[in-house]
Amino acid sequence: MPYHQLAIAQFGEPSVLTLQAASTPSLAADQVLVKVAYAGVNPIDAKTRAGLGWAAQQNKDNLPWVPGYDIAGKIVEVGDNVKSLEVGERVAGFIGFPLQGGGYSEYVVVDAESLSKVPAQIELVQAAALPLAGQTAWQALEKAKVSASDRVLILAGAGGVGHIAVQLAIAKGAEVFASCSAANVEFVSGLGATAIDYHRGRLEQQIDPVDVLIDLMGGEVGCAALACVKTGGQVLTIPTNTAERVCQQAQQLGLQAEGMLVAPNVAQNDAMLKMLAQGKLQLHIAAQFPLAEGARAHQQIESGRTRGKIVLAMGVQ
């Protein structure tokens, strides 16, 4: 059965994303075939497409390569050993990370154990936007040992990871501050955080010292935000390309600092899907693009002004 995928034909600008035809691969005994309804678009996808980062280096001889680590859809076939999932069930997951990818596709073969069942109350578009960003937020807060009464500063609080991290930190009982643009102050405040407009001056001049910094920006912005953390405080930085620099500067300031690479975790995904179903977590979808217009999705995510998440739509199911 022929279907379409959006692939990185060569490294470069968003225009290198190319629609290609594929035929359905055979299933291993522990796998399922998913008809994808939506695929999440993440900054790592654009970074890899540009030829940056480990996934790009490892796949430079495997082009064309299909990016995408977030999917949601319906199961259309199950392998012989799969007992936990059935044809017709709605599923979502964090797949193929970091080297396989494959989410920008109308159909994808996935290990059954890597998928979550999507609660009836949750639309598939929401389920597709959650896995990578949600698990990054969850694991960052865990690694930084955020707990009740902690003062936490989250950089880029309106972004895909940021707006989830804000809510999860508040659910832990933390007092949360989040940097954002003036246009996103109302949005971030609505999530329960104290919004800090970075255009109004240095962050440390706008808030008292915090216990924990969750750095989703890295580079100059991440380093500058270290001034907001009290001596002995905790710094968790996400962007891998500047993690060493941020950590070194943090340690010179007497802070505890480390980087992090997210790892797929189905139990965490299940927990957040349950929170979504119960209304305890909001997931904002900034935009949807058809699969064939993935270049526009990449242009938007590279603008750095995305509120929440972007998804690719394969067609309504």
CATH code at position 125: 3.90.180.10
Are both 107 and 7 inside the same structural domain?
Answer: yes
Whether residue 187 sits in one domain with residue 103: no
1 pLDDT band, cuts 50/70/90, is confident
For 195, the domain range is 133-259
The answer on 165 and 69 residing in a single domain is no
Name the percent of the chain lying above pLDDT 70: 99
In-domain check, residue 275: no
Q: Are residues 142 and 103 in the same domain?
A: no
pLDDT at 317 over 50: no
Q: How many domains does the chain have?
A: 2
Tokens 């995928």, residue located: 5
Same domain, yes or no: 245 and 227: yes
Q: What is the pLDDT of residues 196-232, one digit of tens each?
A: 999 999 999 999 999 999 999 999 999 999 999 999 9
Once rounded to an integer, what is the mean pLDDT over residues 100-124? 97
Residue 230 within any structural domain of the chain: yes
Q: Give residues with Cβ within 8 angstroms of 92, minimum separation 6.
A: 70, 71, 72, 73, 115, 116, 118, 124, 127, 128, 130, 131, 269, 273
Q: Are 186 and 90 part of one and the same domain?
A: no
Mean pLDDT of 31-44: 97
Q: pLDDT tens digits, residue range 250-295?
A: 999 999 999 999 999 999 999 999 999 999 999 999 999 999 999 9
Which of 259, 275, 298 corresponds to the end of one domain? Answer: 259
Cα–Cα distance list, 187 to 116, 180, 181, 200 (Å): 29, 9, 10, 17
* Residues 223 and 236 reside in one and the same domain: yes
* Average pLDDT over every residue of 6-26: 95
50 assigned to some structural domain: yes
Percent of the residues in the chain that have a pLDDT greater than 90, as a whole number: 96
- Give the Cα separation of 286 and 119 in Å (integer): 22
User: Same domain, yes or no, for 20 and 119?
Assistant: yes
What pLDDT sits at residue 304?
Answer: 85
Q: Which long-range contacts (CB under 8 A, 24 or more apart) does 82-88 make?
A: 82/29, 82/30, 82/31, 82/32, 82/112, 84/112, 84/113, 85/32, 85/112, 85/115, 85/117
Residues 118 and 163 both lie in one domain: no
Write the CATH number for 211: 3.40.50.720
Q: Considering the domain boundaries, does residue 19 fall inside one?
A: yes
Angstrom distance (rounded) from CA 85 to CA 77: 10
Note whether 147 and 249 are same-domain residues. Answer: yes
Q: Kindly tell me if the per-residue pLDDT of 316 is higher than 50.
A: no
Report, as an integer, the average pLDDT of 241-247: 96
Mean pLDDT of 16-44: 96
Q: Tell me the average pLDDT across 242-251.
A: 97
Q: Would you state the pLDDT for residue 2?
A: 87
**Does residue 277 form part of some domain?**
no
pLDDT tens, 142-161? 999 999 999 999 999 999 99
